[in-house]
A and B are shown apart, each in its own frame.
Chain A
C-alpha cells in the first residue's frame, strides 16, 4: 500500500458555515443511499481540491458514516489526496512501456529540478509531482500529463523544458 499521510492541511481550516454551504448540496446527493463513500469523497475532492479533514468529518456526521470509515476508503485508493495541489499537476507515467523507455530517469530529473519527491508539491504551489501506474498512451512512451495536456516521447531534458516554459509564462 502506498503510504498516505492524513494530517492537518497547510490550508486554513474552514468554518462550519462555509463547510455547510460548499458541501451541503454534495451531501444531499448521497443521503439515504448505499455504498457512497467513493463518489462522495471524489465530489469532496472536486469541490475542495483535496480531501480535507474537516470536510470528511462534516460529511460523515451528516450522513451518519464514521469519519474513520471514510478515511479508510480514501487512503486505500490512489485517486485521493490530502493536501492541496500545485497549479500544475504533473502526472508522470511509470507504466511498463514508459519504464523500459526511460521514465525512471525523467522522474529523477524532475525530482532534482523541482526539489520535491513523488506526491509532493513545490513550496511556491506551482507544481505537484505524481507518479501514476499507466496513462494508457503507451505508444508515446515515456509520457507525462501536465493538468490535461499529454506530453509524449519525453527525455529528462524535454520534461524540464516543458515545466520551465510553464513557469516562465507566469
Chain B
C-alpha cells in the first residue's frame, strides 16, 4: 500500500475507563519505526458503549472498530494495516466508504440520523493540537467576526440563528449577549481604551448526575469552546474570560489548559486579537470544588470570587453586576461550542434545523437501561422515541420501557405514552420535565419510580446551599415522606402533602435548585400514581426495588441443600444443612440479592 494511513484511538476519559490505554500503548509498540502509518489520539465520538474505539483512515475513508482489546488490535494491524483486509466482525462505523463494508457497519444508520454541530470535531481531531482544529475551519468564525463584522452584526447573527442556552433554561443567547453589551462597563481608561471591563464565563460545572456532554466536548474539542468565547467577547466587549470547570474532570482541565496556551500563541487570545487594536481578551480556568448549586449563575459568581457558592436574589442580574460587580455574561459549554459554527456557516444554516422556537441541535447523554449508551447530537424536533429506540438502540435485554428521566434533579420522568414528544424546549416543558443540559436516563420495568423520586430528592436535599428555608427544610420534609413510602409506612394523605409541599417549594425558593427540586416528584406522581398507591396501600414495590417491601424466599420443595447461598450470604441469614432445604431469615436478610444470583438451580425468588 502506497498511501499513508492514520490510525485514531479514542482517549477521552470514557475511552480510558473502558480500557483504551493499554490498547494505545500496544498500538504504539506495534507501529514503532513505520513511517507509512501515523497514530492520532482523539477524543470521544459518542459511541461510548463500544469503546475502546480504533479508526483507520486512508484516502479520506474511515473505518472504525469497536470494543477493541489487544487481540483485536493485533488483528486490525495484521489484516487491515498490513493486508488491506477489513476486520468485519469488529467494524462498527464507516465514513466516506461506498463498498460492502459500509452496509455491514452496524452503527452507520445511527450516526447518519445525527446532525453534528457541537460534536463536529469530537473524536475526529487530536484535541491537543490546534492545527487539527484549524484544518477543520477552526477560528474561521472568529476571524470573520473580527475582520468583517461589527459587534452588533455578530449579536444579530446569533439572535437570527435562534440559538438558546443549552445549559437548560433555553434563554435566547443573542438576547443575553445584548444585555451584557448594553450594560455599562468601566469607563475608558489607559488599560481599556474602550472601557470594556466585562466578564465572560463558560459554565462547565456540569453537576447533573447522568449528563456528560460538557466533559466530552472539553476533552475532545476544547478550541471550539475557546473560539466561541472569543467571538462572544468581541460581541459584548469583554476582556476577561473564565472557564469554571468541575475539578472532577481532570482531563478536561488539562486539555483546556493546552488549548488556551496554543490559542494565545496563535494570536486568538491575548492583546489585540487578530490585529484588532480594540480587541483584547484572555481566559483563565477556575476549578470548581464540588457543589451542584454552583451551576446557578449567581452561586457560580460567588464561587469564582472564592466564597461559598450561594445564590443571591436577582436583580441585579449578572449582565449588569456579576463577577466583582462587573457586567458578566454566562453561557454553558454546549452553547459556546455552537457559536463558531454559526459564525462560519451563517444563522440560516443553523436555523434550518429545528422545531418551533427551538433551533439547531441538542446533544444528549444517553444512559440507563439502554443498549447503546453514549453521546448523540440530534436536530431539535426528533421525537424521544426516535432518540431512545433508533439512536440509543432501545431497552437493554428487550425489557419493557417504563420512563425516561430528562433534565436531572430539575427535570422529570416522561412515560411511554408521551414518547412521541419532540425534543424542543416547549414540548418537553409541557410534559413536566425539562430539556436541562441533556441528560437522558432511560428506565425499564425493573426501575421503581418512587425510588427514583426519592433518589433525586436526597440529591437536592444534600446539595441545597441552605440559604432559604423552603429549599433547606422543604426538600428534607419531602424526602422524609418519600422514605416513609418506600418503607411501606406511607399514608394516602402523604401524596397530597407531597403535592402541596412541592408547590410551596417551587414558588418560595430563592434559586433554580429549589424551584425545580420538586419536579421529579411531581412528574412521577402525575404519571405513575399507581406505583405510589401500591407502596402505600398494598405495601408492595411493583418493580421489586424498595428493600423493606421485598422478601427473598427459598422454594424449599426445590432446594437441594447445596449450601452455596448460605456460604455467600454476607450477613449469614440463611440456615439449613447440607442436602437439607435452606431457609432465609427475613429479619436478618439485607436484600442484597446475592443468594438469588448464586443459586445454581434458581430456586430463590423475590416476593
Residues of A within 8 A of B (CB): 1-2, 34-39, 41-42, 72-73, 76-80, 94-101, 105, 108-109, 112-113, 132-141, 143, 150, 152, 156-157
A94 vs B462: C-alpha distance when bound (angstroms): 13
Listed by A's residue number, 16 A-B pairs whose Cβ atoms lie within 8 Å are A35-B304, A35-B305, A35-B307, A37-B307, A73-B307, A100-B443, A101-B369, A112-B571, A133-B459, A136-B13, A136-B249, A137-B17, A139-B366, A140-B48, A150-B16, A152-B17
Q: A78–B215 Cα gap in the complex (Å)? A: 19
- How far is A135 from B463 in the complex, measured between Cα atoms in Å? 16
User: Chain A contacts of B211 at CB under 8 A?
Assistant: 134, 136
Check A138–B570 contact: CB distance below 8 A.
no
Residue of chain A at shortest CB distance from B372? A139
- Chain B residues within 8 Å of A41, by CB: 289
B49 within 8 A of partner (CB): yes
Q: How far is the CA of A95 from the CA of B368 in the complex (A)?
A: 10
B368 near A34 with CB under 8 A, answer no
Verify A35–B592 contact, CB threshold 8 A. Answer: no
State which of A38, A39, A139 has its C-beta within 8 Å of the C-beta of B367. A139
Residue in B14, B249, B291, B307 whose beta carbon sits within 8 Å of that of A139 in the complex:
B14
Q: Which residues of A have CB within 8 Å of B247?
A: 42, 79
Contact A78 B290 (CB under 8 A): yes
A113 CA to B462 CA, complexed, in Å: 25
Inside 8 A of A113's CB, which chain B residues have their CB?
570
B173 at the binding interface (Cβ < 8 Å): no
Distance in angstroms between the alpha carbons of A8 and B570 in the assembled complex: 34
Q: Would you list the 8 A-B pairs with minimal beta carbon distance, nearest first?
A: A139-B373, A95-B209, A35-B306, A78-B290, A138-B367, A77-B289, A97-B367, A150-B17
Query: Which of B291, B459, B597 lies in contact with A77, CB distance below 8 A?
Result: B291
> For residue A73, which residues in chain B have a CB less than 8 angstroms away from its CB?
306-308
Return B150 CB to nearest CB of chain A, in Å: 34
Residues in B neighbouring A77, C-beta threshold 8 A: 288-291, 309
B305 close to A100 (CB less than 8 A): no
Name 10 extra pairs, CB < 8 A, besides A35-B304, A96-B209, A141-B367: A1-B462, A2-B462, A34-B324, A35-B307, A37-B307, A39-B287, A76-B308, A78-B291, A96-B439, A138-B365
From A38, A80, A94, A132, give the contact of B248 (CB < 8 A): A132
Q: Are A100 and B441 in contact (CB under 8 A)?
A: yes
Q: Which residue on B lies nearest to A137, using beta carbons?
A: B17
Residues of chain A contacted by B308 (CB below 8 angstroms) = 72-73, 76
Kindly report which residue of chain A lies nearest to residue B210, judged by CB atoms. A96
Q: Is there contact, CB below 8 Å, between A1 and B465?
A: yes
Q: How far is the CA of A1 from the CA of B291 in the complex (A)?
A: 10
B593 within 8 Å of A by Cβ?
yes
Q: Is B452 an interface residue (CB 8 A)?
A: yes
- Which residues B97-146 have CB closer than 8 A to chain A? none
Q: Are B14 and A157 in contact (CB under 8 A)?
A: no
> With A36-B306, A37-B307, A112-B590 known to touch, is A1 a contact of B367 (CB < 8 Å)?
no
B window 572-591: CB within 8 A of A: 590
Residues B287 and A38 in contact, CB atoms below 8 Å apart = yes
Q: How far is the CA of A133 from the CA of B368 in the complex (A)?
A: 15
Which residues 36-50 in B have Cβ within 8 Å of A in the complex? 48-49
Question: Hey, which chain A residues are within 8 Å of B16, CB to CB?
Answer: 150
Q: How far is the CB of A99 from chain B (nearest CB, A)?
A: 5
Q: Are B289 and A108 in contact (CB under 8 A)?
A: no
Residues 392-404 of B, flagged 1 when their CB comes within 8 A of A and 0 if not, give 0000000000000
Tell me the minimal C-beta distance from A100 to chain B in angstroms. 5
A156–B593 CA distance with the chains assembled, in angstroms: 10
| Residues of chain B with a CB closer than 8 A to A78's CB | 289-291
Query: Min CB distance, B466 to chain A, in Å?
Result: 5
Say yes or no for B408: interface residue by CB 8 A criterion: yes
Least Cβ distance of A150 to chain B in Å? 4
Q: Are B17 and A143 in contact (CB under 8 A)?
A: yes
Decide: A79 near B290, CB < 8 A? Known: A35-B304, A108-B590, A157-B594. yes
The A-contacting residues of B in range 187-218, CB under 8 angstroms, are: 206-212, 215
A94-B209, A132-B248, A139-B373 known; A105-B306 Cβ under 8 A = no
- With an 8 Å Cβ cutoff, the count of chain B residues facing the other chain is 64
Instruction: Assess whether A99 is in contact with B303, with CB atoms less than 8 Å apart.
Output: no
Contact partners of A96 in chain B: CB under 8 A = 209-210, 367-368, 405, 408, 439, 441, 452, 455-456
Distance of A34 Cα from B408 Cα, bound (Å) = 34
Q: Does B10 contact A (CB under 8 A)?
A: no
**Residues in A neighbouring B570, C-beta threshold 8 A:** 109, 112-113
B309 touches A76 (CB 8 A): yes
Closest B residue to A80 using CB positions: B289
B278-313 interface code vs A (CB 8 A; 1 in, 0 out): 000000001111111000000000011111111000
Closest chain B CB from A89 CB (angstroms):
13
Cα-based distance from A139 to B441 in the complex (angstroms): 10
List chain A residues, Cβ under 8 A from B310: 76
Are B455 and A99 in contact (CB-based, < 8 A)?
Answer: yes
Residues B17 and A140 in contact, CB atoms below 8 Å apart: yes
Task: Please name the residue on chain B nearest to A45 by beta carbon.
Answer: B289
> How far, in angstroms, from A109 to B592 measured CA to CA in the complex?
8
Q: Which of B548-568 contact A (CB under 8 A)?
A: none
Q: Are A137 and B369 in contact (CB under 8 A)?
A: no
- A137 close to B306 (CB less than 8 A): no
**Residue numbers in B under 8 Å from A135 (CB-CB):** 248
> Within the assembled complex, what's the spacing in Å between the Cα atoms of A79 and B287?
11
| CA A109 to CA B287, docked complex, whole Å | 33
Instruction: Tell me whether B329 is interfacial, beta carbon within 8 Å.
Output: no
Q: Which residues of A contact B463 (CB under 8 A)?
A: 133
Whether A97 touches B209, Cβ cut-off 8 Å, given contacts A35-B305, A105-B592, A138-B367, is yes
| Interface set, chain B 357-409, CB cutoff 8 A to A | 365-369, 373-374, 405, 408
Question: Quick one: given A35-B304, A150-B16, are A76 and B291 in contact (CB under 8 Å)?
Answer: yes
Given A36, A95, A97, A105, which contacts B593 in the complex, CB threshold below 8 Å? A105
* Cα distance A105–B570 in the bound complex, in angstroms: 12
Chain A neighbourhood of B304, CB < 8 A:
35
> Which chain A residue has the least Cβ–Cβ distance from B409?
A96
Q: Which of B210, B286, B303, B465 has the most CB of A within 10 A?
A: B210
Asked whether any CB of chain A lies closer than 8 Å to the CB of B515, the reply is no
- Chain B hits for A101, CB < 8 A: 368-369
The answer to whether A95 and B210 have CB atoms under 8 Å apart is yes
Shortest beta-carbon distance from B404 to chain A in Å? 11
Q: In whole angstroms, what is the CA distance A94 to B14 when docked?
A: 17
In the assembled complex, the CB of B463 is this many whole angstroms from the nearest CB of chain A, namely 8
Contact partners of B303 in chain A: CB under 8 A: 38
A97: contacting residue among B291, B306, B368, B594, CB under 8 A? B368
B-chain residues with CB within 8 Å of residue A99 when the two chains form the complex:
209, 452, 455
The minimal Cβ–Cβ distance linking B186 to chain A, given in whole angstroms, is 16
A135–B251 alpha-carbon span in the complex (Å): 12
Q: Which residues of A are found within 8 Å of B292, using beta-carbon distances?
A: 133
Binary contact readout B332-374 vs A (1 if CB under 8 angstroms, 0 otherwise): 0000000000000000000000000000000001111100011
